Amino acid sequence: MSLNSRKRRAETQIISDDEAEQTHKEEKDKQHCQMMSHYAIPDIPSHIVFDILSRLPIKALFNCRRVCKLWLSLIAETYFAKLHFSRSQVGLLAKAVYDKRESRKLHLVDLQIAPYTHPRDAGMKLVPKINLPKNPGIPIMLNSCNGLLCLCEPETNEPIYVCNPILGEYITLPKCSTGTICGCGGSAFGFSSITNQYKVVRSSYRVAIDPVTGSQMSGDYDEAEIYTIGEGLWRSIGKIPYTIVNDSFDSLLNGAFHWLDFDHSRPELICCFDFGSEQFQVVPEPSEFVPLEKHLLGYMRVGVLRGCLSICDFSKKDHVAIWVMKDYGVKESWSKDLVIENIYDRKEWDCYEPIMILKNGKILMLFNRNALLLYDPMLECFEDVHIYGIGSDFHGIAHVPSLVSLRDVAKGENLKMCRA
């Protein structure tokens, strides 16, 4: 067998480190999928049908579920869902804002085709909508991981939800442990490849209370709690050196959630929380960055570009600089990959976040968290990218759609369905 043939064959296999029972189940699912696809279109080899379906964008795949009952069952199989997710591309999950009121409806935009096709073809409205329990505020989107979305109520950050917006499934996490909280910090959602578990971490600013008198003591501190999906309770991980900040389009990389530390009293610039070790860590910043620039962090965003950690610096009025860390964790691997100059009509508060570099070299960027821009390095100009059905104002985060059910990853949790 040729090398190319072996590679093609390897693409249709998923190696699992789970127990033998799980491996046997996935192999059985694979055989079932191949058998059904064979009977669905007898003139086309089953492995080709399976391969084609697993490469389709999520919107087209939803239409394929209506072809016949066999295809519907095939697409619902666990093995197929995992293979399809491994081949899916990051998209934009957007929630519209109308006159300072956020919608409960979500829109998923295919960023690979959005700049080039009819805008209606690039996006899909998620149905059923995210109609969570009626609480005072409309849930805000925190971040996405492996096709699952984490949301929370504004201001109090409770309750926290984890859902699959594609399938309309969600779970509600219990409230954090009791205690006197002076202020709510940020929260983040991630996955530990060590334990194969999903986790939510939450930071808060607490007031020390005397257990005997109940009076306030000196020594306020930041604390963090973590919730492992499926375990049913929050665990304290004690005092923490940094407070979580969740303000980037996409900052989840290598099993860690990243943010920029705004505290002027600390020298650290890039902080992260590793979901495997459950530790707060520091990532070295570019050598060219100096402590005096810390007050400019409000004009920077950390993100992920082509699988690498990146920083977009828009603190200067006449240009935007994009830094990329080619070798994760290595300070010397930072490089200034692109400088966008001659930006006209730039306002002081304008915010730029690079989302991805397309195959043609153009850079898709999120502008002010409510618009998409396409930058052409050759022509040195921007193009507007309009999103059908959302309007001019929205909140958006990175999301890779997945057909993997919460039933498979949140066993023991009270799973509910979102109703339109």
d(CA 275, CA 130): 26
Q: CA 275 from chain center: how many Å?
A: 14
* Three-state DSSP state, 37: helix
CB 219 within 8 A of CB 192: no
| Predicted pLDDT at 30 | 53
pLDDT in tens, 68-93: 777 777 788 888 888 889 988 888 88
Task: Please indicate whether residue 47 or residue 234 has the higher confidence score (pLDDT).
Answer: 234
Give the number of other Cβ atoms within 10 Å of residue 219's Cβ: 9
Domain 91-416's class?
A: mainly beta
pLDDT in tens, 210-219: 666 666 555 5
pLDDT band with cut points at 50, 70 and 90 for residue 273: very high
Interatomic CA distance for residues 272 and 282, integer angstroms: 6
What distance in Å separates the CA atoms of residue 214 and residue 277, rounded to the nearest whole number? 34
Q: What is the pLDDT of residues 221-242, one digit of tens each?
A: 678 899 999 888 899 888 888 8
Confidence of residue 131 (pLDDT cuts 50, 70, 90): low
Distance CA 417, CA 420 (A): 10
CA distance 103 to 342: 36
Q: What is the pTM of this model?
A: 0.81
Question: What is the model's pLDDT at position 229?
Answer: 93
Cα torsion 155, 159, 162, 165: sign: negative
DSSP 8-state assignment for residue 52: H
Q: Give tens-digit pLDDT for 28-40.
A: 555 554 554 444 5
Contact call for residues 93 and 165 (beta carbons, < 8 A): yes
pLDDT, position 144: 94
Q: How far apart are CA 336 and CA 302, in angstroms?
A: 14
**pLDDT over 80 (residue 295):** no
- Residue 136: its pLDDT value, please? 59
Q: How far is CA 228 from CA 199, 207, 225, 276, in A?
A: 4, 25, 10, 11
The tens digit of pLDDT for each residue in 321-361 reads 999 999 999 999 999 998 888 776 667 678 888 988 888 88
Q: Where are the domains of the chain?
A: 3-86, 91-416
User: CB-based contacts of 409: which residues, under 8 Å, 6+ apart?
Assistant: 148, 198, 229, 230
Q: Which one of 167-181, 241-255, 361-375 scores highest in mean pLDDT? A: 241-255
170 burial (CB, 10 Å; 0-12 / 13-18 / 19+) is: buried
